[in-house]
Amino acid sequence: MSISDRLPAESNLNSYVSTRDYMDVFSVPLENRPDLETVDMRVLADHILMADIEWMNKLISLRDRIVRPLGLKTTKDLAQEQSGRALEERTPGDRIGFFRIFQIDENEIILGEDDWHQDFRLSIFRRRGRRPRIYASTCCKRHNLFGHMYLAMILPFHKRIACSVLDHAVENGLPQAA
């Protein structure tokens, strides 16, 4: 089960965060999940972020309908920017779902988006070893009053979604190859 946590000291997101940013971190243990401990970070990110959770999908669809008239990017707009590369071949600038990849290494991927109201980064960090865990950390840099209002409106949903996708990923593991 996921818990509220602290950003690991080894996370590359530490170099992005400043004191005025919004930040949250959730983590979930990986015991007995060797599939998630060893898989490529792009595959792990896709498995976590693209979870097919019905209530979450409905919330995202509602969000898109509300923000389109406000000039914000919708998830469909962003997903259309997807490259045609295989998941494991994607590099910074490509997307996983509607999230732009900013950085990838063996145990962390940083995704996000820059927009007129806020920039955000999402780190999925994997700690291996004796007590393996996955950490999902979100950092938001708000640029204006609308950025503050937007974040305040979505935070209760964001937190529930973050915990749900982490729990779903570990409970279900990677799909078995056919």
Domains of the chain: 3-8+23-172 (3.30.530)
* Residue carrying the six token digits 């997307």: 95
Q: How confident is the model at residue 75 (pLDDT cuts 50, 70, 90)?
A: low
Minimum mean pLDDT range among 36-40, 54-58, 85-89, 158-162: 54-58
Span 114-121, average pLDDT: 92
Span 6-27, average pLDDT: 96
Report CA Rg, the chain: 16
What was the pLDDT predicted at 178? Answer: 38
What are the distances in angstroms from CA 120 to CA 24, 73, 168, 177?
12, 13, 23, 33
What percent of the chain has pLDDT above 70?
A: 89
Cβ 110 vs Cβ 60: under 8 Å = no
Q: For residue 165, what are the contacts with CB-CB under 8 A and spacing of at least 6?
A: 48, 49, 51, 53, 56, 136
> Given CA atoms 33, 34, 37, 38 in this order, what sign does their dihedral have?
negative
Q: Using the predicted structure, report yes or no on whether residue 68 has a pLDDT greater than 80.
A: no
